[in-house]
Amino acid sequence: MSASPVNRVHVWRRLPIGAEIIDSGVHFRVWAPCRTRVEVVLESGAAAGAHALAAEADGYFAGLVARAAAGDRYRYRLDGGDAFPDPASRFQPDGPHGPSQVIDPEAFAWTDAGWKGRSLPGQILYELHVGTFTPEGTWAAATEHLPALADLGVTVLEVMPVADFPGKFGWGYDGVNFFAPTRLYGTPDEFRRFVDAAHRHGLAVILDVVYNHVGPDGNYLAEFAAAYFTDRYLNEWGDGINFDGPDSGPVREFFVANAGYWIDEFHLDGLRLDATQAVFDDSPRHVLADIAARARVAAAGRATILVNENEPQDARLVRPPDRGGYGLDGLWNDDFHHTSMVALTGRAEAYYSDHAGGPQEFVSAAKYGFLFQGQRYSWQEARRGTPALDLPPWAFVNYVQNHDQVANSGLGFRCHRQTSPGRLRAATACLLLLPGTPMLFMGQEFAASAPFHYFADTNPDLAPKVRAGRVRFMSQFRSMDRPDLAAWLPDPGSPETVRRCELDHRERAVNAEVYQLHKDLIALRAGDPAFAPADARRVDGAVLGAKAFVVRYFAGGTGDRLLLVNFGTDLYLDQAPEPLLAPPVGYAWGVLWSSEDRAYGGVGTPPPEARDGWRLPGEAAVVMAPQPAPPAAPKAVRAAAEVRAGQRRERERERFWQ
């Protein structure tokens, strides 16, 4: 049966391709330059049947189908042969291999008209995977926990990728339907309802997007245009996306439009761009700059947040366009993570091997963000990073846990399983008080017992390759380079692996001490001007011992703060020739906050500064603030103290020479 002709009319569209509802039906448009004939085949609804689309310039096909409506399911038939889902489908109710569904983005009743968005400075990020954030793994279930996250002090939710992918579970980084939020977590409107509720609670929502590759299963883009991909660049995840080769214009338009789509139609507050080092583009204007610009236009005046992961640590990505940058806001800081993990665990293997976890690294991270800004990186046998000394502190997103790094522990162990309670509290203080933008990983705030494994429900042909790839990656760690590693690692394709990753939010009460630690530190960061974000660096630091350091926050006289951190044993400083330890004139240092507070499971903290020197408690962090100096002791009392100090020093010398 021949296809019915469609109306060829000029219409206003939100997106360059896809199915869009207009008054008299649905307008379909698709880019298929390698095809001579395209039909939209409606599988349901009043307009069910095949409808021929009219050829346009540059390989596009388009047309209006009268009586088609929201909810109708459809595919595109190419050259009279097989039919495929829409590359710009807004929903795949049966997954990537099934038909697309017409969605009306205007049908949802938003209540966030007064929401102004958020910019990156001053935020607390919280990364979550919707499928394991709750046992139900849905938007609706996640929405129930938004009040608790707001009460904790989190301000931005960073949601792991939701572009639809095959199977019943996965991390989302092998998405194939870039415009279709996965059916696994609910409908598009349930996603909108989650964002709308987040805004009511003062929470921004940014989405992790993957523009460096397409998943291997369910990817039908090449059926429409081989030009979507290129083999001119080496990409560890398969063919790269063609942003700069022949016929790359519509490809760039597709992904740039996708960035704006999430912000426009889902009211998202920004994006996290995955592995931008694999977004290859040799054009005069990089596609990432176009993505950043489109995202801000789509926000229509709302503040936006654009952060990215970039393994080579290229500072250019977050410089403004007028300074040769791409206009993003923040960079994930692996250096902070790596040095923190070495300090916490004592292990410096594989990609941790260039970090010592020592005090100088923490001081440098506080002052300059990245530790590697062009120096040689022995693990890669090459230079790593670019100069980033001009970037504001908040441009560096710091973390001690994220989805990759927890899973890369092999058995999915979180930090509290790999270190002592004291060191964990001290590292948490560094994360939440140092100048970079902090990010928590879901459940970190209450020491969740659930691990976080790598998991992916792939087809039988891909599953062995996925498992073998995971074994190869993990074997870089000496501690895991073992003959039985394949059997030792959790099976990525097992539903039981996923089930073990589900958070039990009742542990918020069970581990109340850890939760209170995070809540108090976030409140201190938000409420004390010394810890407020600033474009200019207002911190300096110094090494005090083999595992101890101080960071001073300059906020003007009595507004100054000290952060003392000691990852080692108790440290006594009889002499302290370090100017950063000097209090303002007429003041002394007093304890403002301590990780050894009994409310957090500690044992209490005596004043670190005493008349006979400084004593830094082991495996602890202390925040000190100026307080009026006590009256000077009478002369006789001071003389007696000096005698006792002299006697003590003499005893120590005698012990040394014995």
The active-site residue out of 265, 269, 309, 354 is: 309
Strand partners, 100: 74
**321: number of Cβ within 10 Å:** 12
Distance CA 134, CA 152 (A): 18
Distance CA 637, CA 342 (A): 46
445 is catalytic: no
**Phi/psi of residue 131, nearest 5 degrees:** -65, -25
The active-site residue out of 274, 334, 335, 560 is: 274
Distance CA 515, CA 161 (A): 27
| Local structure of 60: helix, strand or coil | strand
H runs (alpha helix) in 346-476: 359-368, 403-407, 421-433, 463-474
Determine contact, residues 41/80, Cβ cutoff 8 Å: no
Residues 6 or more apart in contact with residue 50 via CB below 8 angstroms: 1, 3, 4, 39, 40, 41, 42, 77
**Sheet order of strands, 613-616 included:** 571-573, 613-616, 609-610
What string of DSSP letters covers 61-100? Answer: EEEEEET--TT-EEEEEETTS-EE--TT-S--TT-TTS-E
Q: At residue 478, what is the residue type?
A: R
Angle at 387 between CA 381 and CA 392, to 5 degrees: 135
Q: Return the CA Rg of the chain.
A: 28
| Total residues found in the chain within this entry | 658
Token pair of 149 as six digits: 């996250």
Distance CA 580, CA 591 (A): 16
Distance CA 386, CA 376 (A): 11
Closest CA to 343 of 403, 420, 412: 420
Distance CA 246, CA 232 (A): 12
309 is catalytic: yes
Determine contact, residues 431/438, Cβ cutoff 8 Å: yes
**583: number of Cβ within 10 Å:** 19
User: Annotated active-site positions, please?
Assistant: 274, 309
